[in-house]
Structure 1
Amino acid sequence: MKKDSAYTLINKQNGNLAFKLFYFDDNSSFDHISYNNFYTVIWVREGRGLLRSDCNEYLFSENALFAFSPYQPFMFSTDETFSGVAIQFHSDFYCIHKISQETNCDKLVFNNIYEQPFIYLDDVTSNKLEQLIEQFKDEFSESADGAYKLLVPTLIIFLVTIARKKAKIKNKEPIYTETNTPFVLRKLKNAIEENFREKHSPGDYAALLNISPNALAKIVKSHFNKTLTNLINERIIIEAKRELYLTNKSIKEISWELGYSDEHYFSRFFKANTDISPQMYRDSVGFGKAELN
């Protein structure tokens, strides 16, 4: 099997990508900023380099697995051998939100603003994912009617495997130089989750945590590799995307619920952070899936 082989399923109703599995042996597919309207999982088996995503940079090495949500910008920079396999799927093909407990990957694999967007795979997980990739390929080869009925069940197992691996990593408490740091980080996460609809500025959260803005900014930059403003904005954007995809609420209603009284200001904020308007996101990613299905 050549590494540049690709297995692609197209949505016959609109001609858009539904599912794709492909091998790569260089960086040509990822050496520019990508804004895809589908989910992307990239397994870099060989190579190391720099990931740029959401205005942040991360160094990575071989056997790293990356997960990106629709319209989450990313690109890889490397001067070394770069090879692996990637899987892409549209929300119309499989909606990770519809039954969020099914894979538990909504916040573990995708949309986790508090962790770097990749993990390193051990041999056990690598072998499991390799077997599932072979099952994807078998389905394309053996499905006589072109329905590919086993793709979604296999994708679910694939995502569950990643989510379980990430859950194990998440449960390991990192070592902090300052004993107060984990307490501050937990309080900050809770504060953002409880208040992001009303409080949008770093100063708001510094006041809630009773800590100076500069001290909080240093902690956030050190442990999340991003600014507090970026952290807050990313959380708002994730919620906006969910509302645009899962409901038929108007953009004005969504902006109001997220603390923006001016719909046009919210639309500019959304586009500045995603490079696409709220309406275009809804049109290309999905609309009212939870309510219509």
Structure 2
Amino acid sequence: MNNIITYSLDKHRNMFAYPEDLRDYFYAEVNDHPYVEEPYRAESYAVGYLKKGSIKMRSGLVEKVVHAPSLITIGPSAIRSFSEDSKEMQMDIIFFKSDFFLENQANVFFLIQFDFFENSDKHDFQLTAESEETFKQIFKLIRTVLNISNKHERSILRSYLYILIYEIDAVKALITSDPAVNPLFEKFRNALMKHFLRQRSVGFYADQLNVSRKYLSEVIKKHSGRTAGEWIDEAVILEAKVLLKNKSLTINQISDMLNFSSQSVFGKFFKTCTGSSPLDYRKNN
């Protein structure tokens, strides 16, 4: 999926009205988020500190409302979209490229070891009063070093980002899983994110999880309100929408990348799920 179009760091700079910042990182203080409701990926990492209000976030197949105070962590490969939920939303965001962060790092896999950046279901973390104070101070330090002239700026920022990432990981470790979530449902979603490009049969996932197709469907429907088949279709459509934004790819190439037997079969599938053809979707987006 290396051909998927992404939002560049320059694109994000322009979205947040910081076009003159040419560094491979930047800090945005946001009071009016330029909401992007269509799914996309980005070339940079982002950590947001939601200070006030709330925002609707969709990451992968999970949609939720994130309320302040919270952290939002998004890596390059994660498919995301955002929409307005609160008129009084305030958030600080630090964007940075992996090349900058790993410049002097011996372990080039450092960032990808933290699943909260990539395609996990958990990209947001509700903060307690105590933990919020910790992150408030870290973001203040980051903002300060980027607002003053300092020849060691890159090294200092990198150090603060290390602290920020480790503190997020510590917060994550303290959050227990929701006992109301069925473990089979969680295993299904994990298997789906791993195999959906090649496997679109409910029976395949039932076999992977050692349960009957009927039982799997009943559990998924009970805990999500959607059938297993609807989850599978939605994963494929989400990926297709991102691919269709890359106009260097033909629709036939996208059909092949998504493992459809033909462009015609892909077109019928896409129109059934979305109400428009792949070509119409591309023209309108």
Q: TM-score, normalised by structure 1?
A: 0.60
Matched, 1:70 2:73: no
CA displacement 1:248-288 (0-9 Å, x = unmatched):
xxxxxxxxxxxxxxx9755456xx9xxxxxxxxxxxxxxxx
Give the corresponding residue for 2:88.
Answer: 81
Equivalent position amino acid for 2:92 in 1 = V
Runs of 4+ in 1 over 6 A off after TM superposition: 4-8, 230-234
Equivalent position amino acid for 1:175 in 2 = P
Matched, 1:59 2:65: yes
CA displacement 1:94-115 (0-9 Å, x = unmatched):
25997377567521x21243x2
How far is 1:131 from its partner? 1.3
Q: TM-score, normalised by structure 2?
A: 0.61
Matches within 5 A, 1:10-29: 10-11=22-23, 18-27=24-33, 29=34
Alignment CA distance shift 1:78-1:206 (3 Å): same
Instruction: Give the SS at the match of 1:93.
Output: helix
Give the corresponding residue for 1:133.
Answer: 139
Give the corresponding residue for 2:7.
Answer: none
How far is 1:75 from its partner? 1.2
Instruction: Give the SS at the match of 1:26.
Output: coil
Instruction: After superposing the two structures, state which structure 1 stretch, 213-222 or 157-166, moved more.
Output: 213-222
Q: Hey, what's the Cα distance between the residues in 2 that align with 1:5 and 1:264?
A: 33
CA displacement 1:221-243 (0-9 Å, x = unmatched):
63698954279769x99xxxxxx
Aligned 8 A contact 1:51 1:58 in 2: yes
Give the corresponding residue for 1:209.
Answer: 209
How far is 1:162 from its partner? 0.8
Q: Hey, what's the Cα distance between the residues in 2 that align with 1:54 and 1:198?
A: 14
Q: Hey, what's the Cα distance between the residues in 1 that align with 2:197 and 2:87?
A: 45
How far is 1:219 from its partner? 3.5
Q: Hey, what's the Cα distance between the residues in 1 that align with 2:177 and 2:62?
A: 23
List gaps (5 residues or longer) in structure 1.
12-17, 238-262, 273-293
Aligned 8 A contact 2:71 2:126 in 1: yes
Alignment CA distance shift 1:220-1:152 (3 Å): farther
List gaps (5 residues or longer) in structure 2.
1-15, 241-252, 260-265, 267-285
